[in-house]
Amino acid sequence: MNSLYGLTEQGQSIWLDYISRSFLASGAFKRLIAEDGVSGVTSNPTIFEKAIDGSSDYDDALRVLVAETPAIDAATLYDCLAIEDVQTAADLLRPTYDLSGGGDGFVSLEPPPQSTRDTAATVKEARRLWKAVNRPNLMVKVVATPEGVRAVEALIAEGININITLMFSLDHYEAVANAYIRGLHQCHEPSRVTSVASFFVSRVDTKIDRALEAIGAADALALRGTIAIANARMVYRRFSQIFYGAPFAALRERGCRVQRPLWASTGVKSPQYRDVLYVEELIGQDTVTTIPPATLDAFRSHGRVSRATVAKDVDEASAALSKLAQLGVDLKAVGRELQADGVAAFASGYNTVLAGLERKRQAAMALRSRTAS
């Protein structure tokens, strides 16, 4: 049996952490939906940078846009190309969305990163993208900065589906969950809104492992490769307490959906660890796992699903995090650093793709000039 279907049997959705025009056009994504149970897509500027700047897949569309609007700038080009890809993916996932009653089958799209530290700009850009994409199974991505969390509340209140991203600590998670709940209380039709809370995994181990190796003691080295999973399991425990406890009870009675934790950055960075470690150890009901293509292939090949794993060994997870603190490693501070690094990485990817689009725009303009003459 395909191991990926074992995840869905445990109540976990599989979303692909990848998008590109040729991938969508070739039928490859449609096959993943049909054969592997993939039920969503996440994107970010770095993914689009690799897809657009790293291939010729978009050149024909770019030339058409330049011909139609010669004064078009790189940012608008990016917007047009990304929105078209997201619309295509959303249409391919529309049957999943409909069959799930609006609970799954989403495509995530992120506003330009310059709005990350500005609540009003984030709200404005999210509204614009929601209208431009014009698909009910869009999720607008909002970074879980303090400014982004305030935007989440406002956007949920307006009935816009939101994927809150770049969370690395329990503090990040609780702020986001509470914003979702406050937004639902203000929403005219709260039962129609869907949201996920994207909590990052492998980046935590990468940074924490370095700190543990710098300490060098045996008890420090023994924690390597354990903290990201422990961190995520504590988040899942808090999710259960909030969304199946008193804080969400009134909204649950009104038919509102829980805000599912989404495990992001599940590709293993260290060759010392099993290549499907983070997928195998964070399986559970009411969760989403976002998987890059290489990890998806690896899990299909040799992933193991014997039971829900995200809720197991919670006492051990708590003990590992306590030991980390005793060793002098501040996980909250690491989370803040990782979030800042993530914001910077998305901004870098965005700037890189804009620079590449500007080069291609100029080349298209030069070709038009030569053809016209």
Query: Which residues are part of the catalytic machinery?
Result: 141
Instruction: Give dist(CA 157, CA 231) in Å, integer.
Output: 29
Residue 336 burial class via C-beta count within 10 angstroms: exposed 0-12, middle 13-18, buried 19 and up? middle
Residues 200/235, Cβ–Cβ less than 8 Å:
no
The answer for residues whose C-beta is within 8 angstroms of residue 246's C-beta and 6 or more apart is none
Joined tokens for residue 169: 């600590």
Name residue 130's amino acid: W
Residues 255/262, Cβ–Cβ less than 8 Å:
no
Nearest CA-CA partner of 226 in 285, 261, 277, 269: 277
Instruction: Give dist(CA 213, CA 262) in Å, integer.
Output: 29
Residues 262/199, Cβ–Cβ less than 8 Å:
yes
Instruction: Give dist(CA 264, CA 192) in Å, integer.
Output: 24
Give me the sign of the Cα torsion angle 321, 326, 328, 333: positive
Q: Which residue has the tokens 């899942």?
A: 236
DSSP 189: S
Within a 13 Å sphere around the CA of 177, how many CA atoms are in the beta-carbon half? Answer: 25
